[in-house]
């Protein structure tokens, strides 16, 4: 196994980048954060690419695109202390990342016919949508003037990502579904804490909570996506279709 696909090597690098970013946030060391934060998505997207390229398809391409736009969002938000407009740029990049994940999940869903598991999927999606509605309802009263439409669009993107992930139930392998679903929920939690801290009420623990939930959430989404395409049954099905 090459280093680019090695889980231990990439896991250690990713963990070091997370710890470095956390220390930088806690101490206010912007230089260390500039060095560490971009490494998160660089390491994760590299590992995902080299692990999935032999079965590359539209699904993996859209997940890869989601990781790329997440990297752009990470870089943009590094400079919010320089110019607050970078926060808007970061929001836009993260929004595109969420849309890429939504498209990937829809591609997965469309591959499997039938209605098996639909009641559970609807229940999970309803829970995600209900949370999003009431969260947005409370948040919008505190959003700065002019930021209402982009914030609403961002919350809608979050909920769409969560609901699309929910409808993968019984449309993929169980481990892939639960890894991705948990990862998406952590990404929603990360964005929710960030928005609450910025617009609603400052929270001392918010920066580290946002970083931790974001870092773990992205790993679970990428790992769950790999579990979908690298499952032995899925590989055999692909080989049969290509012959």
Contacts of 233 (CB under 8 A, 6+ apart): 173
Tell me the residue range of the domain where 142 lies. Answer: 7-242
Is 146 inside a domain boundary? yes
| Any domain includes 15 | yes
Q: How many domains does the chain have?
A: 1
Residue 100's pLDDT is what? 98
Residue 2, domain member (yes or no): no
How many CB atoms neighbour CB 166 within 10 A? 24
Three-state DSSP class for residue 144: coil
d(CA 85, CA 54): 40
| Domain-embedded: residue 197 | yes
pLDDT, position 115: 86
Distance in angstroms (rounded) separating the CA atoms of residues 151 and 203:
19
Distances (CA, A) of 145 to 33, 58, 111, 141, 151: 30, 39, 43, 10, 11
Give the per-residue pLDDT at 228.
93
What predicted TM-score, i.e. pTM, was given to this entire model?
0.92
Predicted pLDDT of residue 235: 52
The residues of the chain scoring below 50 in pLDDT are: 240-243
pLDDT of residue 134: 94
Residue 144: predicted pLDDT: 84
Answer whether residue 19 is part of any domain: yes
Sorted by sequence, the CB contacts under 8 Å of residue 4 that are 6+ apart come out as: 10, 46, 47, 50
**Residue 1 within any structural domain of the chain:** no
Among residues 8, 67, 7, 62, the alpha carbon closest in space to that of 42 is found at 67
d(C-alpha 47, C-alpha 53), whole Å: 10
Report the distance separating Cα 243 and Cα 241, nearest Å.
6
CA–chain centroid gap for 225, Å, is 11
| First CA to last CA distance, the chain | 27
* 161 within a domain of the structure (yes/no): yes
Q: Exposed, middle or buried by CB within 10 Å (0-12, 13-18, 19+), for 119?
A: exposed
Angle between helices 148-166 and 174-195 (to 10 degrees): 160
């Amino acid at each position: 196994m090459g280093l680019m696909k090695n889980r231990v090597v990439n896991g250690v690098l990713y963990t070091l980048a997370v710890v470095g970013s956390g220390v930088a946030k806690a101490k206010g060391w912007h230089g260390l954060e500039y060095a560490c934060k971009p490494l998160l998505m660089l390491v994760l997207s590299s590992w995902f690419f080299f692990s999935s390229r032999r079965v590359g398809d539209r699904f993996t391409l859209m997940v890869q695109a989601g990781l790329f736009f997440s990297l752009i969002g990470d870089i943009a938000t590094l400079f919010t202390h320089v110019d607050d407009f970078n926060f808007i740029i970061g929001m836009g990049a993260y929004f595109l990342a969420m849309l890429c994940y939504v498209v990937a999940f829809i591609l997965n869903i469309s591959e499997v016919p039938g209605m098996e598991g639909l009641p559970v999927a609807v229940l999970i999606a309803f829970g995600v949508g209900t949370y999003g509605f009431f969260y947005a309802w409370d948040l919008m009263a505190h959003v700065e003037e002019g930021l209402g439409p982009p914030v609403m669009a961002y919350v809608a993107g979050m909920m769409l990502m969560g609901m699309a992930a929910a409808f993968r139930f019984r449309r993929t392998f169980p481990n892939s579904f639960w890894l991705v679903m948990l990862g998406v929920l952590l990404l929603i939690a990360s964005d929710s804490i960030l928005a609450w801290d910025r617009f609603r009420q400052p929270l001392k623990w918010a920066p580290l909570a946002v970083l931790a939930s974001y870092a773990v959430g992205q790993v679970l989404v990428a790992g769950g996506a790999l579990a979908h395409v690298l499952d032995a049954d899925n590989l055999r099905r692909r080989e049969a279709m290509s012959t």
